[in-house]
Amino acid sequence: MTKGDPVISVRGLCKSFGENHVLRDFDLDVFRGENVMVLGKSGSGKSVLIKCIVGLLTPDKGRITVLGQEVHALDQQELDRLRVKIGFLFQSSALYDSMTVEENLEFPLRRHWMSTSKGETDALVDEVLTAVGLAHTRKMYPSELSGGMRRRIGLARTLILKPEIMLYDEPTTGLDPITGKEIVELILQLQRTYNTSSIIISHDLNVAKLAADRIALLYEGRNHLEGTYQELLASTDPVVRQFFIFM
C-alpha cells in the first residue's frame, strides 16, 4: 500500500525570535488519516511550529505545504480558503461566554460566510454536538459547563467546518487525567468518523501512548527522531529517556 503524498509536509523549517533560535531545520510529514504527535518539552517550539503551519507566523527559512499548497506562497484570500480545511484546538481557543453553546457553534459558519440555511445549520449543530456527546447542552452557556465539557464544545466548534486536518495544541493540558483521557478518546473517535489527519502537540506521554500513530520528538529545534510509542519506550536515546523519567 502506498501512503500517497503527505497532507502536511514541513522541510527545513527555521524560526528565530532575535537570538532565540526556536526551530532549526525541522522536518515533518503527515499522511492522510494519520495521528502524528509532536512531543517536546515546554518552550521547545511546539506552538511556534503549529502557528507556522497555519500561516500565523512566517518562517525564516524552509517550506511548508498543506494539502498540496505552499502555505507561505499564498495570498490572504487563498490562505483563508485553506484555513477553512484546517481545524485547530488551541489552549487559548476559548468559547464566547455571552453566547449559548449553539451560538458558539454557529459562529465559524458565519465567520467564514458559509451560506447554510437555518435547517442545515441546525442539523450541523446537532451532528457535531452528538459527535462530542453533548447534545443536551445546546441551549446552555459556557459558564454552566465543566472544563472538560468546554473543551469538547471547542472541538465541536472546529468540527462544524468539516476540516480535513486537525491540529491540537496541548489538548489535555489543564484537565484532570480522567477528563484528559476522555478528550484523547474523543480525538480518536473523531479521526475515525471524519477520517481527518491530525497533528497533536503535547508533552503528555499518556497522549502519545493512547493517540499517536507516530511520534516525532522535537528537540533543540529539530525532529530528533520518530517512532511509535513502543519504539520510544524501548529506546536508549538519552533525549527520549528524559521523557520517561516518571515511568
Look at residue 68 and give the partner it binds from Mg ion, ligand ADP, none, a contact being a CB closer than 5 to 8 Å depending on partner kind: none
Strands 197-202, 165-169: parallel, antiparallel or unpaired by DSSP? parallel
In the complex, what is the shortest distance from the CB of residue 129 to ligand ADP, in angstroms, rounded to a whole number? 30
State residue 198 phi and psi, 5-degree precision: -135, 150
In the complex, what is the shortest distance from the CB of residue 193 to ligand ADP, in angstroms, rounded to a whole number? 28
State residue 63 phi and psi, 5-degree precision: -140, 130
Query: Is residue 92 a contact residue for ligand ADP (CB under 6 A)?
Result: no
Nearer to Mg ion, 64 or 129 (CB): 64
Query: Is residue 17 a contact residue for ligand ADP (CB under 6 A)?
Result: yes
DSSP 134: -
Query: Is residue 93 a contact residue for ligand ADP (CB under 6 A)?
Result: no
CA separation for the pair 67, 75 (Å, rounded) = 16
Considering only residues 3, 5, 20, 112, which one is a binding residue for ligand ADP as defined by CB under 6 A? 20
Query: Is residue 236 a contact residue for ligand ADP (CB under 6 A)?
Result: no
Considering only residues 42, 76, 115, 230, which one is a binding residue for ligand ADP as defined by CB under 6 A? 42
Strands 61-66, 69-70: parallel, antiparallel or unpaired by DSSP? antiparallel
Torsion of CA 234, 180, 53, 3, to 10 degrees: 50
Considering only residues 47, 198, 202, 223, which one is a binding residue for Mg ion as defined by CB under 5 A? 47
Q: Which residue has the cell 486536518?
A: 165
Stretch that binds Mg ion, among 38-46, 72-80, 131-139, 175-183 (CB under 5 A): 38-46
